[in-house]
Structure 1
């Protein structure tokens, strides 16, 4: 039976236990890194401080190696796609972290991911220790009605066209749509569900948009590998589009896959609503 591009999500809420929270910080990178370290501690049979995943005979069945594929092929990490997205934000009174895992195999590890996030929060993320409050399951939408959609980026979209980062003056409906399609297809390939991903994007077309407004938002994260801060900015903005059934289906699911680059640490997240129908996600 062909593999399906299934999605399984969790949302965790935390309260700061110690340390000062920077409300304007980009938290996605810090939580992704902390989850990875915690997951390796839980999953690795050997000393995770010294083990080399690319040499491990058990990596094929390891949750850490599956969710962080750059660990098994570090030299090819730029071509490897993590089968999940993450979105972390400070809500004003607490920290909310959402993780959506894709593929049949990843579905079995949402509990492991949740446990790793709780452990990461307790040990400290970004200099702050967090107490876990609650966890709930998410049910990503796969269907949505056709109509006039308004799409708004919740986190910066980082994508390239002709080998260059796209700025506010270069973004077009085709560039935005291409970033979403490439992301969905890359996830499908990473999960062994490329035919299912192709069925999702086949027939979907992005017409011209209206009311589009874009600006550049610079973000920064610290790279342990490079031992230096790195800029990872992208585009924030919104637009309206007339979506038929095929495009609506892709846009609804794309909210969870994100669009563009660095989606597994939270970039490319968007929300949508449909005029005159009250639907919103």
Structure 2
């Protein structure tokens, strides 16, 4: 839905100043208005107008399986939107100590479900847009190996939060829905605090432009937020090897291609053998644990991951087509909960 449409809605400018009891009416009003905007791809994918199909989304998600470079081209051409937002506490109190990315994800999910989900049962109906966007594995009859088409990173400052969303493929059609859901969740309260939301920027690009196509320096991987890597069902709690990082990277890229483009990228198995010959020249990592309250399980949980830096040595250029996208997709599990933020840093030759 064009941003101009939301800007013309009379409630948009004043949503931050409404009393709490009026918020439900505002959200109901948004939903009613959205249901009558026949030209919006946002509504098309709510399922109200199945006869209208967004060609850009159809191109992204539907089509025959191809092979070789055609598969890569579809992934590289995938539209991507990055949203940068700032959340400032309304009461100007110091921020609570918690894993804020998990808290924001929980509030965002409840608001998005209200806006996008038409299911009346515990399980989602086939084609539920909320299930496809927020929890694709929960779609009835869906593939459990599906990747949500978005991720979240949160940086905590003394007086505010900076929450950055990256939306991929179909999710880019719902940019305004994500912003509205975030504003609603922040207004209702995240944890025990309510926030004002400011949009700092919005960038649109293609997946290919998220990472350099070549890397001429040595490799140093910075683990900026806790990274949860798993091998054979066991969480890795020590510095991972290059082959473990590479295995996770190629799985994540192939899963993204399958989930968002409907294609299967081929993977030469001999590359795993080659990866075993790339060594970790130095490692400075530590295990960090975060606390979060699970609404679904109704209990407090602790989740951990690795933070620090890894420097690799050896012939790794064969792996770069997969490794280049780690900063865009995140490394490991729970990337919609703020885990797995990484960056490649250039390092001088020894």
Which of 145, 162, 172 does residue 215 from structure 2 map onto?
145
Contact 1:53 1:65 in 2 (8 A): no
Residue by residue over 1:108-140, the C-alpha shift from the partner in whole angstroms, topping out at 9 and shown as x without a partner, is 122221221122112111221111122312456
- Given the alignment of the two structures, is residue 177 of structure 1 paired with residue 243 of structure 2, yes or no? no
Name the SS of the counterpart of 2:218 in structure 1. Answer: strand
- Given the alignment of the two structures, is residue 34 of structure 1 paired with residue 34 of structure 2, yes or no? no
> Aligned in 2, Cα 1:130/1:202: closer, same or farther, shift over 3 Å?
farther
Match of 2:186 in 1: 121
Contact 1:9 1:98 in 2 (8 A): yes
Match of 1:72 in 2: 139
Higher deviation after alignment, 17-26 or 249-258: 17-26
Q: Separation in 2 of the partners of 1:256 and 1:86?
A: 11
- Taking structure 2 as the reference length, the TM-score comes to 0.66
Contact 1:13 1:134 in 2 (8 A): yes
> Aligned in 2, Cα 1:264/1:23: closer, same or farther, shift over 3 Å?
same
Q: Separation in 1 of the partners of 2:270 and 2:139?
A: 32
Instruction: Look at both structures and tell me which one has the larger radius of gyration over its CA atoms.
Output: 2
Displacement of 1:247 in angstroms is 4.0
Displacement of 1:77 in angstroms is 9.3
Which of 99, 107, 111 does residue 176 from structure 2 map onto?
111
Which of 192, 201, 225 does residue 136 from structure 1 map onto?
201
Residue by residue over 1:221-259, the C-alpha shift from the partner in whole angstroms, topping out at 9 and shown as x without a partner, is 211111112222111120123586664454342112111
> Aligned in 2, Cα 1:101/1:148: closer, same or farther, shift over 3 Å?
same
Match of 1:240 in 2: 311
Residue by residue over 1:141-172, the C-alpha shift from the partner in whole angstroms, topping out at 9 and shown as x without a partner, is 23253322322111111122232111116x21
- Taking structure 1 as the reference length, the TM-score comes to 0.80
- Given the alignment of the two structures, is residue 226 of structure 1 paired with residue 289 of structure 2, yes or no? no
Displacement of 1:45 in angstroms is 5.0
Residue by residue over 1:25-61, the C-alpha shift from the partner in whole angstroms, topping out at 9 and shown as x without a partner, is 2111111111111112222457xxxx226454xx526
Unaligned 5+ residue runs, structure 1?
A: 277-281
Match of 2:162 in 1: 96
Q: Separation in 2 of the partners of 1:120 and 1:184?
A: 31
> Aligned in 2, Cα 1:52/1:89: closer, same or farther, shift over 3 Å?
farther
Q: Separation in 1 of the partners of 2:301 and 2:178?
A: 26
Q: Separation in 1 of the partners of 2:338 and 2:260?
A: 19
Which of 69, 73, 85 does residue 12 from structure 1 map onto?
85
**Two-structure CA RMSD over aligned residues (Å):** 3.2
Q: Separation in 2 of the partners of 1:244 and 1:161?
A: 21
Contact 1:19 1:129 in 2 (8 A): no
Displacement of 1:269 in angstroms is 0.8
Q: Separation in 2 of the partners of 1:93 and 1:202?
A: 50
Q: Separation in 1 of the partners of 2:250 and 2:94?
A: 35
Q: Which has the higher contact order (CA 8 A, sep 6+)?
A: 1
Displacement of 1:72 in angstroms is 2.8
Name the SS of the counterpart of 1:156 in structure 2. Answer: strand
Name the SS of the counterpart of 1:126 in structure 2. Answer: coil
Q: Separation in 1 of the partners of 2:124 and 2:132?
A: 14
